[in-house]
Structure formats: C-alpha cells, structure tokens
Structure 1
C-alpha cells in the first residue's frame, strides 16, 4: 500500500499520531501530495517546517494545484536564513532552537482554521536534529505528540529515512499510533 493510502487509512481508523518515514528521493513529492489530498477532503491544516522556508512549500503546493485556503504554517527556518516573512498565513519562529514556540503557535493557528477537522504535519523531525541535542529533541517530540493527542488533532511526523537514527526510529515507533515506512518502490 502506498504512503498516501496508509495515511488516509490511519485517519479513518482514528489514529491521533502517525510517523511517516520517507526516502529522500520521494520526500518532497510525497509530502506535498499528502497535504493536497487532505486539503481536498476538507481538512484544515497546520504545516510545521524545519527544513525549508514556507514560501518554498507554498510554491510546491501551488504547482500541484492544492487548495491552500485553510492551510497555515509554522515556519522555523525563514527568519534564520533571511527568507520572506510577510505571509499572513504563517507564524515565523526566530530560531529552530525555540521549540516551546511551536506549541504556542500551533494553538494560535488552530483558532484560525475554518474546517471542523484538521491535521498538523511536522516536516521534519530530522530538521530539528541539526539544531537540538538528542535529549531535547526527544523531549520536544514527546510533548508535541501528547499535546496533539489530547487535542484530538491528527498529527503526522515526517522523517527522512536515510537521516533517521535507530534511536529516533525506535522512539517514534513507541510513541505513535502508526509508523508508516515508504513502500512505494
């Protein structure tokens, strides 16, 4: 079963938290296709980006004609690299090390979502490992995951397969309701 079908099944079966491990070759097209599909099913969304500026992700989603009307961003990278920071749908965090700001901004953006149901996509767990110690990263993932679970918000944590340590994979498999690995060939 391909990744998108597994994500859809995860939502239908009531999972609150899913980890999605994608190989680097398919990472961008698969992650944007997941978002496009969920938005087409009238879910609102919050896209947390740690690896690329939100403007780049918006451009990718516009290319595939995703309806971005109810999609918001928490951008942890644009201010660090000097990217564009004028998008009203985006909350910009000063530094990827300011992990506590992520939960605060998710809460603020959840109030703006019009859809009854929504998702949070965290792209990617690996991006944070560049800026945070392993212990701090694990603590943050645990708090984020359980906060979203209590809010009954469907959350996906994406990882790049080749960049994910065995320790992090083990933690994600233990913490999440479902661990989806790229099996698209």
Structure 2
C-alpha cells in the first residue's frame, strides 16, 4: 500500500514537471513562427503599378507586349521576358493574366491579382499550352475559380506564391 502511494506521487511529479517544461517551449515556437511570417510578408513590399488584364497569345504576342513597353527581356533562357510589380483586378470576368500557346522563357513576379472569372479554366494567372514559365512571389486571392490555372502546359515552375482564398 505504501509503495502504491509512492508510485502515485512519482507519477504526479513526472506529469507536473512535463507540463511545466513543455509550456515555455510552445509559446517560444509560436513567437518565432509569427516573427518569421511577419518578416516574410515585409519582404514583398515594393512599388506596384495598377494594370488592366493581360492576354499574350503565341510567341509573337510576347514581342508585341514588349514593344508596347509592358515587359523586358527577349524570351531566352538567359534573358526571359519579365512581367513584374503589377496589381490587376480582373473584374470577375476571365483571367487576370492569360498566356496561350507560348514556349518562350518568361517570369511573372510580384504581381497581385484578384477577382478573376468563375470558370474552372480561369485563374488569377492562366497558362494554356505554355512551356518555360516561372511564377514567383505573386499574390492571387479572392479569385472566383483558381489562383493559378495550368491547362495543357508543362515545364513551368510555380514557386513561393500566396494563393488564398480562391473559390
């Protein structure tokens, strides 16, 4: 009976020590996690330009888009076309950026797109029949279908984008 009482005391002490030792680590980890989140969101702060929706069809569409002064680069691996630092409201119709039948190299970076159309193929960014795209650090939110739509496309990289919430 005495050993049973001692066993219960040991168990209670172990549980109490475990609870005390776990509590500080949980709050410390949460603090670090929140701190990291705040730091990463501040790294996205840049100056952006409000833009209309963008549609680029075929490789020749990129040349036209560049000649209009709306992107830089020449579509090669070492000098891809670059679209960056834009804010696009798709107004609930179609995609914010739509690229069709293209195999040139391009980057879409630091673009914020909202309110794209409701159909499954429409997204903040829609790539249809596209190769060699790199989508990086974009914010795609409150779109009626997808944040990013990839249709019949391959060899595209989607990296470090914020896609939430889309319906």
| Fold shared per TM-score above 0.5 | no
Larger helix proportion of the pair: 1
Q: Indicate the structure whose relative CO is greater, using CA pairs within 8 Å and at least 6 residues apart.
A: 1
Query: Rg larger in 1 or in 2?
Result: 2
